[in-house]
Amino acid sequence: MKPNIVLKKKWRAQLNQGVKDGSIDLPDALKLLRKIIGKSQLEYSQLVGVSKKVISDFEVKKGNPTVVTLNKIFAPIGLQVGLVSKRR
């Protein structure tokens, strides 16, 4: 079942707030992103070119993907892993 517009808005707001206040981690961000676009773990893994196990393990905070894999995972939404300097 594809998510309806109300749920998508709720998830987007949750994601935006988590990013803004720094309370969301990458695995939880991925779960919300998948919900927003209405993809299962299998569908998303096929979209990004990694195994379903990689997505599943990452989302339950069990996996340890490389930077290359993380970049594949977040590429469809225009994000890339990198280092930034701390703000003081």
Predicted TM-score (pTM) of the model is: 0.82
Structural domain contains residue 54: yes
Compute the distance between CA of residue 12 and CA of residue 45 in angstroms, rounded to an integer: 21
Query: Is 20 part of any domain?
Result: yes
Residue 72 placed within a domain: yes
Asked, for residue 82, whether it belongs to a domain, the answer is no
pLDDT band at residue 2, thresholds of 50, 70 and 90?
A: low
Q: Would residue 55 count as lying in a domain?
A: yes
Which structural domain, as residue segments, surrounds residue 16? 5-77
Number of domains in the chain: 1
* 86 belongs to a structural domain: no
Task: Render pLDDT for 46-73 as a digit per residue (tens, 0 to 9).
Answer: 999 999 999 999 999 998 999 999 999 9
Q: What CATH code is carried by the domain that includes residue 34?
A: 1.10.260.40
CA 39, CA 49: separation in Å to the nearest integer? 14
**What pLDDT sits at residue 76?**
87
The structure tokens listed for 45 are 């893994």
Q: Which residue is it, tokens 């990013």? A: 19
Q: What percent of the chain has pLDDT over 90?
A: 64
